[in-house]
Amino acid sequence: MDNSSSSSYTPPRVWSGIKDNGGRFASINRPTAGPTHDKELPVGRHPLQLYSLGTPNGVKVTVMLEELLAAGHTGAEYDAWLIRIQDGDQFGSGFVSVNPNSKIPALVDRSAPAPVRVFESGAILLYLAEKFGAFLPLDGPKRAECLSWLFWQMGSAPFLGGGFGHFYAYAPTKIEYAIDRYAMEVKRQLDVLDRRLAESPYLAGDEYTVADMAVWPWYGTLVRGQLYEAGEFLQVQAYTHVLRWTNQIAQRPAVQRGRMVNRTMGALSSQLHERHDAGDFDTKTQDKLAAPL
């Protein structure tokens, strides 16, 4: 690999801005926060309003919502609105008012007189688990184990997505040091998961919880070869316990539905850009909408 671009660079005394580097997300990266344009968010008829995209962080929440509905929690009905981050939707004034960090997913709970905003995917999972009393153990030690793995994911995924994923799949140049550094860390994380899942069916123990919902869209899809096309590079087949766990979760109908919501890639039949009713899975996937009358 060519290391010349990294080995010859000397940082200036004061960083002055991002040059046009051709990276996949260069057009939406900036060193400041706040809105770039006025745009109010749409509001549907359900108590919960989700503004998201079918990335791993977005999938965490749609899986949780579909699991709650499957478990009989009718109050978890939701509208899922598509936020196209490549178009800068996350910098609209309405979205920034819900999430000042301008990242998906963002949730507004309108079930009470005063709407409640929740941002950061882990916070949303925890909020919903506590609101509905589901997928979060009440027992002290089991709850601690669940929360530990939930926050493990929140702290670990930036190494996978922002580190390995960026330099392996998205960066305009391949930098050997960066790829090796993050590949080593991702493989260490996969080994952490594999060792845990060798002794327990799910991350928090015998029960499927928000910890699994948080980790699965990142590491589960990675070992299934559905993230960054890096399966062979990382030799993911070696993590047999993670594979057992991810395949088991992938068979859950609520997980299959959740992965479709706000999805804009893959087979058209797997893409439900917006979800406003349970029947939308049968009638409003992109293959149905694109079919001739």
Q: What is the pLDDT of residue 23?
A: 66
Torsion angle, CA of 60/57/291/66, rounded to 10 degrees? 10
Q: Is residue 201 part of a domain?
A: yes
Q: Is residue 10 part of a domain?
A: no
Q: What is the pLDDT of residue 216?
A: 98
Q: What is the pLDDT of residue 30?
A: 84
Q: Is residue 204 part of a domain?
A: yes
Kindly tell me if the per-residue pLDDT of 25 is higher than 80.
Answer: no
Q: How far apart are CA 120 and CA 124, in angstroms?
A: 6
- Stronger pLDDT, 235 or 15, i.e. the higher one: 235
Q: Is residue 210 part of a domain?
A: yes
Q: What is the pLDDT of residue 106?
A: 98
Q: Is residue 93 part of a domain?
A: no
Q: Is residue 80 part of a domain?
A: no
- Give pLDDT tens digits for 210-224: 999 999 999 999 999
Q: What is the pLDDT of residue 205?
A: 97
Structural domain including 246 reads: 140-255
Kindly tell me if the per-residue pLDDT of 10 is higher than 70.
Answer: yes
Assigned token pair, 104: 């998906």
Q: What is the pLDDT of residue 4?
A: 43
Helix-helix angle 240-250:176-199, to 10 degrees? 80
Kindly tell me if the per-residue pLDDT of 291 is higher than 90.
Answer: no
116-119 and 106-109 strand pairing:
antiparallel
| HEC per residue, the chain | CCCHHHHCCCCCCCCCCCCCCCCCCHHHCCCCCCCCECCCCCCCCCCEEEEECCCHHHHHHHHHHHHHHHCCCHHHCEEEEECCHHHCHHHEHHHHHHCCCCCCCEEEECCCCCCEEEECHHHHHHHHHHHHCCCCCCCHHHHHHHHHHHHHHHHHHHHHHHHHHHHHHHCCCCCHHHHHHHHHHHHHHHHHHHHHHHHCCECCECCCCHHHHHHHHHHHHHHCCCCCCCHHHHCHHHCHHHHHHHHHHHCCHHHHHHHHECCCCCCHHHCECCECCCCHHHHCCHHHHHCCC
Kindly tell me if the per-residue pLDDT of 181 is higher than 60.
Answer: yes
Percent of the chain with pLDDT over 70: 94
Residue 201, CB half-sphere, CA atoms under 13 Å: how many? 6
Closest CA to 167 of 230, 80, 93, 79: 230
Closest CA to 182 of 169, 195, 198, 196: 169
24-28, 88-92, 251-255, 261-265: which range is least confident on average? 24-28
Please enumerate, as own/partner, the contacts of 284-288 that have beta carbons within 8 Å and a separation of 24 or more.
Answer: 285/260
**Region 127-144 average pLDDT:** 97
Kindly tell me if the per-residue pLDDT of 44 is higher than 80.
Answer: yes
How many domains in the chain? 1
Q: Is residue 225 part of a domain?
A: yes
- Give pLDDT tens digits for 139-157: 999 999 999 999 999 999 9
Percent of the chain with pLDDT over 90: 89
Other Cβ atoms closer than 10 A to 209: 24
C-alpha torsion sign, points 200, 202, 204, 206: negative
Assigned token pair, 51: 């503004």
Kindly tell me if the per-residue pLDDT of 20 is higher than 90.
Answer: no
CATH number for the domain spanning 245: value is: 1.20.1050.10
Q: Is residue 15 part of a domain?
A: no
- Mean pLDDT taken over the chain: 94
Kindly tell me if the per-residue pLDDT of 3 is higher than 50.
Answer: no
